[in-house]
Every structure is written in structure tokens, then in C-alpha cells.
Amino acid sequence: MLNQITIKALSKAYRRRVLFKDISLTIPDRSAFVILGPNGAGKTTFLRIICGLIPATSGQVEIIINGQVLTAREKRNQIGLVSPDLALYGELSAVENLEFFAGVRGFSFSLDRARELLHLVGLQGRGHDLLNTYSSGMKQRLKYACALLHQPHILILDEPTTNLDESGVALVDKIIKQHKQRGIVIIATNESREVAYGDQTFTLA
């Protein structure tokens, strides 16, 4: 069955400032798509439109899973997002943050699943520590656990290796490679090494 993202004549402007105009492209299943461009070019805005967090000025984004075009609600259930704007809660533990995000998405929370993800991102043994005790790199790792919690088909990464050390970067490499085997990865970056993640690249001027 067909799985892909189809972007048709997508444009975004804020009053007289045009970020991008008439972008049309297709992102196939089991691939990674990298969006490049200088700061202010609209990379994060582009991702937010794909996620359905903000509207486009014109054009549309179709997410097709198993041959069906998803509704706005269905899109949210198929997308996992890692972004500098993603808010984690310092007064909660890692496990409690995962439980909160499960509730926001409307599905039941599994402690076993939480432990599995914390192990995946290298936070085993720290699940019940408050996030206020975490380093910035540990918080970035937890964002990956939150994004993967509901097993999304589409993983969207804005500045994916921000605040990560060498082992954290290797973790991101592993997650991207694994996710490409079953779904779609979309990455916005300014880092030259992260271009290598992409099967396709697109540059916003």
C-alpha cells in the first residue's frame, strides 16, 4: 500500500514577507528528506506546516498511509517531533513526562514501553529523576523518547543533534537509520554532516 508525503504548491508568507513559495515535492516511504537553508529561511515553519501546527498561506500537504489521505487528527497520530520548541517539564521525572505525552496524544501509557525507550536513548536508570537534574543533552535524548513513544510512521527532526555529545550523535544516527527501514524521516538542519542523512535534500533560500 502507498505511503508517502505529497506537498503541492506550498507557500507561506507573513504579511509582505514571503518565506517560501510554490514548493511541490514528494517524500517517499522508507527515506530521509533533509531541508537546508540559512537561519530565517523558513525551515522550522516548513516542518510546522507538515505537522499541522500552523497553516500554509496556500497549497497543501497530504500524508498518505496505506493508500489513504489522513485527516488532521490522523496526521498527529502518525508524526513524532523532535524540536527545540518541544517543551519538557522540569518538575516531572522522565517517566512522568512520557506518561504526560501519552495522555496528550490520547493513548494508554505503558511503563514497559517507557523503560524500553529510556534504554534506547541511553537514559536507563534515570527514568525517575526529575528533569531539573538533567543536562541539556539528556533532555534532548528524552525528546527522542517522547517522539517515538507512539511508534509514529513519520519522524520529524528540527536540528536533530542540538546539545548532544559524540555518543548522542551516534544515537541519532542509529535512530534515523532504524526509522528509515519502516517509515519517513524529515530533517531540518544547518549542519553539513547531517546532510548525509538525506536520500533527498531541498534548500530554502
How far out from the chain centre does Cα 60 lie? Answer: 19
Q: What is the mean pLDDT of residues 19-27?
A: 97
CATH number of the domain residue 190 falls in: 3.40.50.300
Q: What is the pLDDT of residue 168?
A: 97
pLDDT (average), residues 161-174: 96
pTM of the model: 0.95
Q: For residues 187 and 185, what is the distance between their CA atoms, to the nearest angstrom?
A: 7
Phi-psi region of 93 (alpha: psi -120 to 50; beta: other; left: phi over 0): beta
Containing domain of residue 166, as a range?
4-203
pLDDT tens for 119-144 read 999 999 999 999 999 999 999 999 99
**Number of domains forming the structure of the chain:** 1
> Hey, what amino acid is at 107?
F
